[in-house]
Structure 1
Amino acid sequence: MDHLDQLESQSIYIIREAYKKFRKIGMLWSIGKDSVLGDSKIYYKINSKLKWGCIEDLYKEVTPKEVFKKGNKEFITPKEKVEVLSVNGKNQRKAKIQFNKVTTLISHFTSKDVYEIKLQTNKHIKVTRDHSLIGSYTDKNGLTLKPVEVYGLTRKDSIFCANTLNFDVKNLKKVDDIGVADWILVLGGLWLADGCYALDRKIIISTGKNKGILSFLKKIPREKPIVEKIAKELREHPNFKRKNLKLDLAKKISKKHGVSFWSAYDSKKRMEELLNRKENLNVLVKENGDVWICSKKLVTKLKKLGFKGLSKNKKIPSWIYTLSNKQLALFLGGYFAGDGSCWRKDNKFAISFSSINKNLLESIRPLLLRLGISHGFSVSNARGSGFRTKSKKMYQIIVSSKQSIKNFLKGVPDLANKLRKVKINWAGKSNYQISARKVKHIKILPKKMRKVYDLEVENTHNFIANDIICHNSTTLLWLAKKAFYGKVPFPVIYIDTGLHFKEMYEFRDMCVKKWGLNLIVSKNYEEAEQKGIGPKAKLECCTVRKTDALKKTIAEHKFEALLLGIRRDEHGIRAKERVFSPRDRDFKWDYKDQPPELWDQFKTQKEGEQHLRVHPLLHWTEIDIWDYIKRENLPVNPLYFAKKGKRYRSLGCMPCTSPVKSKADNVDKIIKEVKKSKIAERSGRAQDKEEANAMQKLRSLGYMILF
């Protein structure tokens, strides 16, 4: 057990002991909001049934067990077992993509800035400005995961995204349950790439005279019962016995049944010969290589399965994403036969998909990841006789890494025989399941009222949306969650002086929303304003705005104990504190008469009308706090990070808090800075600049640190 583990274990023990000891206990707390747009695509399970869709779809589909509303925000505890894909592990080497339980779904309306973040692989996501994505920093373990708030991102930063979505597909609904055969999957992929419908009676596939595709299409099962009906009507028709049977007659009868023959039949003998050879009378091959599949029944079936639209707006049906890997490979094989190609440059092979339909091609990407095929995405001007305007764009998926090409050759059938020249003579090398990609583009979208969503994911506190890893979840509050397995069972008290930074209020609201906290806001600043007590009278101002506000809250809720996040290393007077520290009815603290706490033996009894202050972090140091924040990937108030050469090292009221000179704009830099710094942590707090015993006076009157 390392140093941080020991600190964590001891603090959790103290929190649990305090909770067991006192009937009424609260936590003092003073500490942004984060959400993604509803069109973000995710894999999710509801009662073990795999689904693919938008976060908005998930939100609509769950049955609420509990609903909590605060303002325009709605917090839903789902009745069903809901799981989403997320990443377990603290660094790239050990990261595993798997499903984890969703404990809470959150939604609300906002008009705040929305950022569209695009990575070098052209994966993109739209999030509110203070949402956190999972970024990276380098340590002895390689690339390590850490939350990075969007508004601070630059093009120098990297964000983690998924290299594979190859998860276990046990307990999935079988594709046969919805009546889809393997050849339908191949045909569906081929139709999305190079197909269309004609008069709701024909499927037209442009094959380019590819022998492999033609061979597949000719093997499509013929509709024997319908063919027999047509043959019977032809035989019984008066004109059938005529030597020259007219083509119009065959067309008229076949059209009635939704089937067209590829030639006219001039004799009963010819008709029977074709039927006996079991030729596919539904398929017509044109001179230009187009294939007509003349079957109204098949057209109706494909449309019912979701294969519809024109080339510019075709979409992959959502049920495709829930198939097994083997079935996905058949579908991708059909699509590759139409829109795929293989090329070689400088003895390097690459496999690509091309389309003018950007949305269609982007929807192919998670299917490739399901088969462990990582890839890039590029955009270029479309060329060729088929494109009449220069404004047309051609979008391309490119598979170039050795392992991904090997996975492609191993998994995806080569229906069109396009990969015959690809030879692999390299040894397979295992890839990481996630990779860090540079930010390519950051765009702020026009302001308007939008509905946004977030998910609270158990254990991992992240989820994968649009193949990008999003963070969703400070030290004392986190320890309290750990102590009670994710749920803080007592109220959290925020003392609002009316003079705090807006970032402190935003950060508070974010934690309340994501962690489902019971928040009590304690305030008394109206009295201070009425009496004309301002920040210049620091001791009196702190007493009225903080101490008196807390007195009212304790009296109203009858709290017997309060948990606080103070530490001995913050100030000399706090070195005199105890883990369990008594206060009398007037909140006074006798620092000369503190109970001994030898060998971690604590005096937890209170006397008379006393209440106890419990300090689980008393034995932590500032560097311990930052090391723990880094290890646990905890969110951090943005004021702690340097901007324009300054940052706040300790937070309080705006008039009494000053920044310190610093270039530390992330957790790693702050840790390095704190280790080297000889400046006190609270050097920016005005209370510490008063007379030598000012803090001691405040503490004796009941003043507490706001963390």
Structure 2
Amino acid sequence: MIRAAVVGVGNCFAGLVQGMEYYRKHPEKKAIGIMHEKIASYSIHDIEFVAAFDVGRNKVGRPLHEAIYAEPNMVNWIPKEEFPKSDVIVKESPVLDGVGIWVENRVKPIKSKKSTSELKKEILRELKDTGAEVIVNYLPVGSQKATEFWAQVALESGCALVNTLPVFIASEKSWASKFKKAGIPIVGDDVKSQVGATIVHRTLAKLCDDRGAIIDKTYQINVGGNSVTGDQEILIIKNGKVIKTKIGKFVDELIEIYGEKRGDGKDAVDVSKTGEGIECLSVDENFNVVRAPVAALIRHRLNEELYEVETYEGRKIKITKDHNVFALNYEGKLEPIPIHMLKERESYIAVPRNLPLNNKEDVMYINLRPYLKLLFARGVDEEGNIIVHNHPEIKIPVEFPVSDQLLQLVGLWLADGNFDREGSSNVEIACGNDSECLAMVENFTSKYNISYKIRGEKMVCVRIASKTLSKIFRLVLGLHGDSYSKRMPEWVFDLSPRQIALVLKGYMSGDGTVVGKQIRWTTASSGLAEDIRTLLLMLGINSSIFRERCTKRPTSKSFKTNLKYITHGAISSKEDMEMFVEKVGFIQHEKNKKAVLALTKLRKGNTHIIPKFALLKKWGISSKAWPSLKTMKAYTILSQLDKVEDEKDRNKIMKICKGDILFLKIKKIKKLMAKPQYVYDLSVPDLERFICSNILVHNTDFLNMKEHERLQSKKISKTEAVQSQLRHRLPDDKIYVGPSDFIPFLGNTKLMFMRIEGRMWADIPFNMEVRLEVDDKANSAGVVIDAIRLARLAKDRKIGGAIVPASAYLMKHPPVQLPDSEAKKLLDDFISGKKHDKISWPF
């Protein structure tokens, strides 16, 4: 057996040991992912991890079989309860520089009371007591001091070292000499993935070089995913003000002022440098929608296929293939899921059922002084009223009251209003045949001595006879557009909840009604339908939106119209209907009576769907459809809560069933044609997700990106791995090989975009582009398995120093760079025991 110790119980190590367990449980399967089934007498089953070291508070002191599943680890190939129990307890390692300052809140390092020298003594004792023979360094990239500490531990303990990091130990002569003098083998530095970005890049570069082509320039960008398109809408709180805007418009405006170009081509705004307070809506671990600070705004150009994801309730988002939405996993947690893993009519994604944005007090007045010139006003009289040209009887206060009637009138105008002609138009609303709406209009206009008249053949159109009021509606309140293009004015989203309800009351009184057991409304403007949905969510009311195809010929199922589609909205659940009746309602008494009657017909609440999770099975919560369905109704779960004896488990089930999140089924995933465009993202520290287009999506971990100095050795290692394959080195400004930024919304998925530009016969140009997508936790595990066995083989043969055959073939930055074909032959010779004068470095 090979007795190994691991430093850094993270994702990559979790993937390694869960993969080993997978093959142990399936002996009939050939181990895929290793380059040598046996190295000398050692198989993958001959490796035993007898010691483990970490800095995380939630890992130190726990058994190894528990620590590999502790956050922020994401690997769950083998269910936690099925992984064999281990007697190995994770011991404390000194932090040093092993945790970046921007990711401390994710890793949560232990606050040790012990000095580094005290910890070193305990570590050496643990290695001795456990009989460890090989140390595997799995620390995060950039851990220079921490890696040097563990190199020294290897020297003092006599353990061989496998250095998977781009911290140069095996390839640095002074360190390699120490290992050679001590007779201790080291394999390093910076492990290659099995089919990773660097190995693909260097292989293709060498192919071009060997075929006689000239490479003029090349780049390799490694990222963890992309973003949403610029036309997706988002609620932003900027300096305390709520704004509903397109994410592209918002980010572009700030990039113009504060943007910085990153080395990987992305434009970014570090919000901390702007002096602006920017927040978005996110979801915490208790399934509550919360306001969260935005650390950065990011955009970059893209020319690849996008996807539009649509739920059965009509929520849509346009997003890149590798961006993540969220689902409920079996552990009962929100888990990021990339778009390409979703399935139509099967997958459920997380969306907000409530957008509790503010508890603001009512907005009392709008100051009209900045608009006097636009209103053609002659000034303000002694009583504080605008002096209206030729109409001294009209008394509109310059401190214009945001009255209940005004807000309802705004809603009515959005439903059934227009301006009677261009320029000096009057406000018109189609409510002349509705006595209660007409009474509200009269109540409003009479306060300002403004007249109105009902006109038209059917006496439906109410014209409010004040051009000044019309200008206030258009220029101050932002009411414009026709029935196809109307949108909710931006200021409405910054009102108090009570005032938002009044705007909705006016709108629903025009476009809304009661149909069966539902509140329904209809509009020709799909954008307005989404605005109404968002405002309802701000009051805690969930609704559905669906489109109906129209036809010029009337049928029993269609409207007679020139429109291609008409958009309907619906409120149908008992809880949402109750909230609507209580908070919004209609101006019309008869509609309110119908709404109350419809509500009495809804007998069951909590009818929303919950994907099944482990606690339900643990406590025997089930339904008749348990064997076949992957979901349950919330009321079915809640009705059986008396079975749950553990209070912590009961609270968790309650949060999932009654929190601010719904889980909606995917109706359609539509592939969109590739075109050059910007895509956009936010960085939301800690929570790492934000609500966009009323769907929960993952964010970019910009704070981790900021520590570029931690990635410099990685950049050097990857660049040298490619340059070493060329007969003539490229100038530094003609090659860019970027290290991978850790972006949580992709989990462990890593993407590489590579381009080579060059010339062939007669200087004719060529170029190639490659997109590679891999699961990072699986991609290097087999290589490390080989490295562990090779380190032990060298130890068996009493060879010290940097083991050249193993390092040259398995590592990006070995002491000696060799073409892969030569390195493989040298390694095969080493395994077979052939003598060679360049086995151990320094030579």
Same fold (TM over 0.5): yes
Structure 2 unaligned blocks of 5 or more: 1-57, 74-89, 100-115, 117-142, 150-164, 168-189, 197-223, 368-399, 607-656, 725-735, 747-751, 757-779, 794-798, 807-812
Mapped to 1, the partners of 2:529 and 2:472 lie a distance apart of: 23
Mapped to 1, the partners of 2:535 and 2:505 lie a distance apart of: 12
1:317 to 483, 489, 492: 489
Mapped to 2, the partners of 1:367 and 1:688 lie a distance apart of: 66
Mapped to 1, the partners of 2:529 and 2:522 lie a distance apart of: 8
What letter corresponds to residue 220 of structure 1 in structure 2?
F
Mapped to 2, the partners of 1:350 and 1:311 lie a distance apart of: 23
1:469 aligns with 2:678: no
Structure 2 residue aligned with 1:218: 442
1:197 aligns with 2:386: no
1:366 to 522, 528, 534: 534
Structure 1 counterpart SS, 2:365: helix
What letter corresponds to residue 426 of structure 2 in structure 1?
K
Shift in Å, 1:306 = 1.0
Structure 2 residue aligned with 1:67: 260
Whether the 8 Å contact between 2:259 and 2:267 is mirrored in structure 1 is: no
Mapped to 2, the partners of 1:489 and 1:172 lie a distance apart of: 47
Say if 1:172 and 1:455 are closer, same or farther in 2 by CA, change over 3 A.
farther
Whether the 8 Å contact between 1:172 and 1:322 is mirrored in structure 2 is: no
Shift in Å, 1:72 = 3.7
1:449 aligns with 2:676: yes
1:77 aligns with 2:270: yes
What letter corresponds to residue 593 of structure 2 in structure 1?
R
Shift in Å, 1:23 = 10
Say if 1:507 and 1:612 are closer, same or farther in 2 by CA, change over 3 A.
closer
What letter corresponds to residue 197 of structure 1 in structure 2?
F
Structure 2 residue aligned with 1:13: 95
Structure 1 counterpart SS, 2:710: coil
What letter corresponds to residue 217 of structure 1 in structure 2?
V
Say if 1:416 and 1:491 are closer, same or farther in 2 by CA, change over 3 A.
same
Mapped to 1, the partners of 2:445 and 2:834 lie a distance apart of: 87
Whether the 8 Å contact between 1:283 and 1:292 is mirrored in structure 2 is: yes
Say if 1:513 and 1:112 are closer, same or farther in 2 by CA, change over 3 A.
farther
Shift in Å, 1:332 = 0.2
Shift in Å, 1:33 = 2.8
Whether the 8 Å contact between 2:354 and 2:541 is mirrored in structure 1 is: no
Alignment of 1:179-190 (within 5 A): 179=400, 180-190=402-412
Say if 1:414 and 1:171 are closer, same or farther in 2 by CA, change over 3 A.
closer
Structure 2 residue aligned with 1:401: 573
Structure 2 residue aligned with 1:153: 342
1:458 aligns with 2:685: yes
Q: Cα RMSD over matched residues?
A: 4.8
Whether the 8 Å contact between 2:412 and 2:506 is mirrored in structure 1 is: yes
1:355 to 520, 523, 533: 523
Mapped to 2, the partners of 1:407 and 1:686 lie a distance apart of: 73
In the superposition, the TM-score normalised over structure 2's length comes to 0.50
Structure 1 residue aligned with 2:661: 434
Say if 1:336 and 1:612 are closer, same or farther in 2 by CA, change over 3 A.
same
Structure 2 residue aligned with 1:34: 226
Whether the 8 Å contact between 1:381 and 1:390 is mirrored in structure 2 is: no
Shift in Å, 1:104 = 2.0
Say if 1:573 and 1:158 are closer, same or farther in 2 by CA, change over 3 A.
same
2:353 to 164, 180, 205: 164
Mapped to 1, the partners of 2:737 and 2:661 lie a distance apart of: 31
What letter corresponds to residue 109 of structure 1 in structure 2?
R
Mapped to 1, the partners of 2:829 and 2:231 lie a distance apart of: 54
Say if 1:398 and 1:202 are closer, same or farther in 2 by CA, change over 3 A.
same
Q: Deviations for 1:519-552, whole angstroms, at most 9, x for unmatched residues?
A: xx9xxx9xxxxxxxxxxxxxxxxxxxxxxxxxxx
What letter corresponds to residue 176 of structure 1 in structure 2?
Y
Whether the 8 Å contact between 1:36 and 1:126 is mirrored in structure 2 is: yes
Say if 1:514 and 1:121 are closer, same or farther in 2 by CA, change over 3 A.
closer
Shift in Å, 1:700 = 7.5
1:380 aligns with 2:539: no
Say if 1:77 and 1:222 are closer, same or farther in 2 by CA, change over 3 A.
same
Whether the 8 Å contact between 2:452 and 2:462 is mirrored in structure 1 is: no
1:490 aligns with 2:707: no
Mapped to 2, the partners of 1:61 and 1:135 lie a distance apart of: 32
What letter corresponds to residue 337 of structure 1 in structure 2?
S
Shift in Å, 1:366 = 0.7
Mapped to 1, the partners of 2:435 and 2:744 lie a distance apart of: 59
Shift in Å, 1:19 = 5.7
Structure 2 counterpart SS, 1:297: helix
Whether the 8 Å contact between 1:573 and 1:695 is mirrored in structure 2 is: no
Identical amino acids, percent of aligned pairs: 23
What letter corresponds to residue 186 of structure 1 in structure 2?
Q
1:411 aligns with 2:583: yes
Shift in Å, 1:12 = 7.8
Shift in Å, 1:374 = 1.0
Shift in Å, 1:96 = 1.4
Mapped to 2, the partners of 1:150 and 1:336 lie a distance apart of: 35
Structure 2 residue aligned with 1:297: 468
Say if 1:442 and 1:140 are closer, same or farther in 2 by CA, change over 3 A.
closer
1:420 to 593, 597, 602: 593
Mapped to 1, the partners of 2:688 and 2:503 lie a distance apart of: 34
Structure 2 residue aligned with 1:573: 789
Structure 1 residue aligned with 2:239: 47
Whether the 8 Å contact between 2:323 and 2:745 is mirrored in structure 1 is: no
Mapped to 2, the partners of 1:172 and 1:700 lie a distance apart of: 76
Say if 1:208 and 1:434 are closer, same or farther in 2 by CA, change over 3 A.
farther
State which drifts further: 111-120 or 18-27. 18-27
Q: Deviations for 1:286-307, whole angstroms, at most 9, x for unmatched residues?
A: 6533322212121111101111
Shift in Å, 1:312 = 1.4
Shift in Å, 1:431 = 3.7
Structure 2 residue aligned with 1:625: none
Whether the 8 Å contact between 2:328 and 2:334 is mirrored in structure 1 is: yes
Say if 1:391 and 1:314 are closer, same or farther in 2 by CA, change over 3 A.
closer
Mapped to 1, the partners of 2:249 and 2:705 lie a distance apart of: 29
Structure 1 counterpart SS, 2:291: strand
Structure 2 residue aligned with 1:542: none
Structure 1 residue aligned with 2:86: none
State which drifts further: 108-117 or 201-210. 201-210
What letter corresponds to residue 359 of structure 1 in structure 2?
G
1:333 to 505, 528, 553: 505
Structure 2 residue aligned with 1:88: 284
Structure 1 residue aligned with 2:430: 206
What letter corresponds to residue 379 of structure 1 in structure 2?
R
Shift in Å, 1:208 = 6.4
Say if 1:697 and 1:95 are closer, same or farther in 2 by CA, change over 3 A.
farther
Whether the 8 Å contact between 1:130 and 1:149 is mirrored in structure 2 is: yes
State which drifts further: 187-196 or 318-327. 318-327
In the superposition, the TM-score normalised over structure 1's length comes to 0.59
Shift in Å, 1:390 = 6.5
Structure 1 counterpart SS, 2:667: strand
How many residues matched?
491
Structure 2 residue aligned with 1:131: 323
Say if 1:433 and 1:354 are closer, same or farther in 2 by CA, change over 3 A.
same
Whether the 8 Å contact between 1:499 and 1:654 is mirrored in structure 2 is: no
1:282 to 452, 455, 463: 452
Shift in Å, 1:47 = 2.9
What letter corresponds to residue 437 of structure 2 in structure 1?
I
